[in-house]
Chains A and B, each alone.
Chain A
Amino acid sequence: MSDTGIGASVRRKEDLRFVQGAGKYTDDMNLVDQVHAYILRSPHAHAAVRSIDTSAARAGEGVVAVFTSEDMAEVGGIPCGWQVHSKDGSAMAEPKHPVLAEGKVRHVGDPVAVVLAESRTQARDAAESIFVDYDVLDAVVDMQAAVTDGATSVHDDVGTNVCYDWGLGDKDAVDEAFSNAHHVSRLDLVNNRLIPNAIEPRCAIGDYDQATGQFTLHTTSQNPHVIRLLMGAFVLGLPEHKLRIHAPDVGGGFGSKIFHYAEEIIVTWAAGQINRPVKWTADRSESFQSDAHGRDHVTTVELAMDADGKFLALRASTLANMGAYLSTFAPCVPTYLHGTLLAGQYSTPVIYCEVKAVFTNTVPVDAYRGAGRPEATYLLERIVQVAADDMGMDATDIRRRNFIQPSEFPYQTPVALIYDTGNYEASLDKALENSDYAGFGNRKAASKEAGKLRGIGISSYIEACGIAPSNVVGSLGARAGLYEAATVRVNPTGSVSVMTGSHSHGQGHETTFAQVVSEKLGIDFDSIDIVHGDTDRVPFGMGTYGSRSIAVGGTAIVNAIDKVVAKGKKIAAHLLETSESDIEFENGQFVVPGTDKAKAFGEIALAAYVPHHYPLEELEPGLEETAFYDPKNFTFPAGTYVCEVEVDPDTGTVEIASFHATDDFGVVINPMIVEGQVHGGLVQGIGQALLEGCNYDDTGQLLSGSYMDYTMPRATDVPSFSVDTTVTECTHNPLGVKGCGEAGAIGAPPAVINAVLNALSEVGVTNLDMPATPHRVWQAIRDAQAS
């Protein structure tokens, strides 16, 4: 292993700029002659808009323009990228998602009007003088209430609040297995709504060049080409060659910057209207009301077992909140990213899952780190724990009894996926050893001495990364392909620029991808640059989400490198006067094995661009190759997490005493970066389990609308982690990689809650929903004592 190749903890290229404050984030840009946009948002969750009077605002100091939906009549609605079909074959309800409210507002924060002014303060001042005559309607907030007969409709043209009623699996077989079961464990649970809160608020700057007709949008996006396609083709009707999307350094995404947002449309369209650049930056309070939220499921799950605790069947029924409108990928999250994961690591023979997606007067809900897979893992790892308790079995024994065995791969689950590889017992064993699972009793006794309740919890998760292949996801309702693209440009003097469709917003692709290139081409790490985030520079790619970048984007790079090497062999063969089949490429040299004939990579590059001695009749000059890679299958990272907590029964405070993670990510390119990804994911998972709760009141007002009320994990809330890996290599990509970005957020919540409930079992508490805040834990203890 070289010190910059695959497997090395190379220090990150991007850090040199970030630690010096020299990163270039969208809001750091200020274009000449730009105006500032302020967006007037609805203060009501649900109201008819009778009229909007903008006259005073138009006369405001510094005001350049004021727009409402009437001005944007030519502009289309915000499209949804995935169409799910209900059990009965009907297509989901897909009401229009207007850019600015058309006749009705449907959540607090719904954009109503936009003011453009010379300064942000002037725009905000003027917006306060806009008079909107609202007729306030009953708000639909609770999902159960939303789906009962006679409920107010969020969308009049839909009639009900059900977006779709979807099912997956063999219901009859499941019902039969349940009727023959020795024991059925049952659990009602809530997967709490979360607010993503990347620390960089969203920002968008629209620019228009009248002389060329070129539009540019600088935006905080995880996938600029997706935005270009959606906004160009479906919203603004701009040809793609006249629309550039630039996502420079982006300060975290976690899913929330995948989606196409109204503000991106507003600034781009408005720049064309006034022929000046238009900038909008969210306040944090605005982020709370306008970034797509995550999770928000209410589920009943049942597990049927035989007398030995062998799983016979699983049945899950979920209400999934869509919020007021369908965000870009919202429909696929509770379905194809959730129902398909319900086998977990287990050989449960039959599974049935049904999901009713529900419109409510709340902010749209879409993918947030893990997206569907945390919800699946939570319900599964919670019901497995309940089952273990019901059956009087140890948490590890029941898992071992039901694990899919290494010999069974490739394994067809009853919920559509085919797992290519894995060794679940290996990661469980390692996690138990690292956490001294056997010594828990002593630690529990010590805690008890100190008046604390100690608990241990396990979660054995699986996730699916790099959702694919395109023809399959297309048949499931995806309105886009899910490949990735890369161009490897070898420069004449042998340095390499890689243009990738993946986007880095914290993941460290500039480093990891360069390691792959360095390893494959045998060239110096420092002579490789990774270019991303600009539709004018990189080939059409799908961006970064779903832990897909190394498995899909990385493979596209490898495939492009293979083409470079293949062409390089042809050039080398010519220069070395031998046949192409005699040439091998190793350690950055094209060699004829068994001879001293060799050409360095740089010599081949130079020959390609200065083709004086070159087979021009057979081969084009230049050395630049592009590959589009469409994966054959998902990848399936998996692992086991062991969490130990200590509960203070006097206050209900839960402290994480230790957390041990063992993950199988396949081949790891940069262990340092992978560990960092796990740490971050774990804290988001712990945040969901213990701290983060999005609260709406009955009128649809967001009560947790700032950091004063939405608990972000802080350094004192979490411990340092023990992170370890096992390896089974992915069988269907050349790097053997699986992806690591979301695992922590997927596996952690059930580990934490299982631990909390293990601790609280001493005082009679048997169930608790997330987040297990001190108040909630204290109340649960009190209620258990009272009953």
Chain B
Amino acid sequence: MYSFDYKRPSSLDEATQMLRNSDDGHVLAGGHTLLPTLKQRLASASDLVDLAGIEELKGISSADGVVTIGAMTTHSEVAASSEVQNAIPALADLAGGIGDPQVRNKGTIGGSISNNDPAADYPAALVGLNATVNTTSRSISADNFFTGMFETALGDGEIVTSVSFPVPHSAAYCKFPNPASRYAIVGVFVARGSDGVRVAVTGAGASVFRAREIEAVLNQGFSASSVADIQVSDEGLNEDIHASAEYRAHLITVMTKRAVDKANG
């Protein structure tokens, strides 16, 4: 790692101030992407502002058909939360399948979505569930939050405080993991809510995206057989040593079918 100063604010205001006053300050949440990146010297920071001491960023609440998860809530806390399990079991399931138990004990929802790794799981849940990202300065719909590979709508010094998920009628997430890293080669989150079906795909493209043609057929009939004949275009999809674009396109259909079956119980 290149050298940095470590700071641990106890309030959001203090954190925002620290970021503003730094040359190149980074927010440290669970650290499970940032620290490995710093260790490999692929990134540097003048200051790391650790959000762990800010109480208001923690916790899960549920009211009026919306589940709100504090940004510093860990994946294992989401997975184990009875509130999440009851309201949106697909979300608890997704959180329980991120990385490994130790990653889940440290990694946070705020950190994951702020980083927007193209193969991360959470972005699919946010877009699939039409969630709202709450920050220190505003609320942003998930559709507008994830803007590109490792890019989000967050401005300088803006910190994610929580994510609000409307409770769907039914939902499910199916992931085909990269055999080595276990990130998603393709992950598909399907949700049936009051405004229809949403299908969000992670791992396949530069950033999470909605598979609109699949949404259209699932709105006609929410069953795996509806998707059976859909051939997703491989244009613009990721290619690497683990999967071609063509294979990823195929897996989108397969994972969607499995997710729909799972959602239908």
Direct contact of A and B (CB under 8 A): yes
A binding-site residues for B, Cβ under 8 Å: 121, 124-125, 128, 285, 650-651, 691, 693, 695, 703-704, 707-712, 717, 773-775, 778-779
A775:B180 contact, CB within 8 angstroms:
no
- Contact A695 to B241, CB < 8 A, known contacts A285-B40, A775-B247, A779-B247: yes
B179:A711 contact, CB within 8 angstroms:
yes
Interface residue B250 (Cβ < 8 Å from any Cβ of A): yes
B247:A709 contact, CB within 8 angstroms:
no
A709:B176 contact, CB within 8 angstroms:
no
Give min CB distance, A125 to chain B, whole Å.
8
Give which listed residue, B2, B40, B41, B244, contacts A775 with CB less than 8 A.
B244
Interface string of B213-255 (1 = CB under 8 A from A): 0000000000000000000000000000111100100110010
B179:A774 contact, CB within 8 angstroms:
yes
Q: Quick one: which of A285, A695, A778, A779 has the most chain B CB within 10 A?
A: A778
Q: Which residues of B contact A691 (CB under 8 A)?
A: 179
A712:B180 contact, CB within 8 angstroms:
yes
Give min CB distance, A97 to chain B, whole Å.
28
Interface residue B43 (Cβ < 8 Å from any Cβ of A): no
Q: Which residues of A contact B243 (CB under 8 A)?
A: 775
Q: Which residues of A contact B247 (CB under 8 A)?
A: 775, 778-779
Interface residue B149 (Cβ < 8 Å from any Cβ of A): no
Category for how many chain B residues contact A: 10 to 19
Q: Which residues of B contact A709 (CB under 8 A)?
A: 180-181, 241-242
Give min CB distance, B118 to chain A, whole Å.
13
Q: Which residues of B contact A125 (CB under 8 A)?
A: 2
- Contact A773 to B242, CB < 8 A, known contacts A285-B40, A709-B181, A712-B180: yes
B176:A651 contact, CB within 8 angstroms:
yes
The distance in angstroms between the C-alpha atoms of A185 and B116, with both chains bound, is 52
Interface residue B1 (Cβ < 8 Å from any Cβ of A): yes
What are 26 A-to-B residue pairs whose CB atoms are below 8 Å? A121-B1, A125-B2, A285-B40, A650-B254, A651-B251, A651-B254, A703-B241, A704-B180, A704-B241, A707-B180, A708-B181, A709-B180, A709-B181, A710-B180, A711-B179, A711-B180, A717-B179, A773-B179, A773-B242, A774-B176, A775-B243, A775-B244, A775-B247, A778-B247, A778-B250, A779-B247
Q: Which residues of B contact A651 (CB under 8 A)?
A: 176, 251, 254
Q: Which residues of A contact B179 (CB under 8 A)?
A: 691, 711, 717, 773-774
Give min CB distance, B3 to chain A, whole Å.
8
B251:A707 contact, CB within 8 angstroms:
no
Give min CB distance, A283 to chain B, whole Å.
9
Per DSSP, are chain A's interface residues mostly helix, strand or loop, or mixed?
Answer: loop
The distance in angstroms between the C-alpha atoms of A670 and B243, with both chains bound, is 44
Give min CB distance, A701 to chain B, whole Å.
11
**Given A128-B41, A707-B181; 10 other pairs, CB 8 A cutoff:** A121-B1, A124-B41, A695-B241, A704-B180, A704-B241, A711-B179, A712-B180, A774-B176, A774-B179, A775-B244
Q: Which residues of A contact B181 (CB under 8 A)?
A: 707-709
CB proximity to A under 8 Å, residues B1-32: 1-2
Give min CB distance, B38 to chain A, whole Å.
12
Nearest A-chain residue to B250, judged by Cβ: A778
Q: Which residues of A contact B250 (CB under 8 A)?
A: 778
Q: Which residues of A contact B1 (CB under 8 A)?
A: 121
Q: Quick one: which of B1, B180, B242 has the most chain A CB within 10 A?
A: B180
Q: Which residues of A contact B40 (CB under 8 A)?
A: 285
Q: Which residues of B contact A128 (CB under 8 A)?
A: 41
Interface string of B161-205 (1 = CB under 8 A from A): 000000000000000100111000000000000000000000000
Q: Which residues of B contact A712 (CB under 8 A)?
A: 180
Q: Which residues of B contact A779 (CB under 8 A)?
A: 244, 247
The distance in angstroms between the C-alpha atoms of A658 and B265, with both chains bound, is 29
Nearest B-chain residue to A714, judged by Cβ: B182
The distance in angstroms between the C-alpha atoms of A253 and B14, with both chains bound, is 50
Q: Which residues of B contact A704 (CB under 8 A)?
A: 180, 241
Closest 5 A-B residue pairs measured CB to CB?
A711-B180, A708-B181, A711-B179, A650-B254, A695-B241
The distance in angstroms between the C-alpha atoms of A651 and B185, with both chains bound, is 11
The distance in angstroms between the C-alpha atoms of A140 and B181, with both chains bound, is 29
Nearest B-chain residue to A771, judged by Cβ: B179
Nearest B-chain residue to A779, judged by Cβ: B247
The distance in angstroms between the C-alpha atoms of A778 and B249, with both chains bound, is 12
Give min CB distance, B159 to chain A, whole Å.
28
The distance in angstroms between the C-alpha atoms of A538 and B181, with both chains bound, is 43
The distance in angstroms between the C-alpha atoms of A712 and B243, with both chains bound, is 17
Q: Which residues of A contact B251 (CB under 8 A)?
A: 651
Give min CB distance, B19 to chain A, whole Å.
25
Give min CB distance, A744 to chain B, whole Å.
21
The distance in angstroms between the C-alpha atoms of A775 and B41, with both chains bound, is 31
The distance in angstroms between the C-alpha atoms of A704 and B250, with both chains bound, is 24
Give min CB distance, B43 to chain A, whole Å.
14
Q: Which residues of B contact A695 (CB under 8 A)?
A: 241
Give min CB distance, B6 to chain A, whole Å.
15
- Contact A708 to B254, CB < 8 A, known contacts A285-B40, A703-B241, A775-B242: no
Nearest B-chain residue to A709, judged by Cβ: B180
The distance in angstroms between the C-alpha atoms of A779 and B247, with both chains bound, is 8
The distance in angstroms between the C-alpha atoms of A125 and B247, with both chains bound, is 42
Nearest B-chain residue to A713, judged by Cβ: B179
Give min CB distance, B182 to chain A, whole Å.
8
Nearest A-chain residue to B39, judged by Cβ: A283
The distance in angstroms between the C-alpha atoms of A28 and B191, with both chains bound, is 51
Nearest B-chain residue to A717, judged by Cβ: B179
The distance in angstroms between the C-alpha atoms of A710 and B180, with both chains bound, is 6
Give min CB distance, A786 to chain B, whole Å.
12
Nearest A-chain residue to B2, judged by Cβ: A125
The distance in angstroms between the C-alpha atoms of A438 and B2, with both chains bound, is 62
CB proximity to A under 8 Å, residues B80-134: none
Give min CB distance, B41 to chain A, whole Å.
8
The distance in angstroms between the C-alpha atoms of A128 and B250, with both chains bound, is 44
The distance in angstroms between the C-alpha atoms of A712 and B179, with both chains bound, is 9
Q: Which residues of A contact B176 (CB under 8 A)?
A: 651, 774
The distance in angstroms between the C-alpha atoms of A778 and B251, with both chains bound, is 10
Q: Which residues of B contact A773 (CB under 8 A)?
A: 179, 242
Q: Quick one: which of B241, B243, B244 has the most chain A CB within 10 A?
A: B241
Give min CB distance, A184 to chain B, whole Å.
35
Q: Quick one: which of A707, A711, A712 has the most chain B CB within 10 A?
A: A711
Give min CB distance, B62 to chain A, whole Å.
32
The distance in angstroms between the C-alpha atoms of A703 and B241, with both chains bound, is 8
Nearest B-chain residue to A648, judged by Cβ: B254
Give min CB distance, B186 to chain A, whole Å.
10
Give min CB distance, B246 to chain A, whole Å.
8
Give min CB distance, B258 to chain A, whole Å.
9
Give min CB distance, A98 to chain B, whole Å.
27
Nearest A-chain residue to B183, judged by Cβ: A708
The distance in angstroms between the C-alpha atoms of A579 and B179, with both chains bound, is 70
B180:A708 contact, CB within 8 angstroms:
yes
Q: Which residues of B contact A693 (CB under 8 A)?
A: 241
The distance in angstroms between the C-alpha atoms of A779 and B254, with both chains bound, is 15
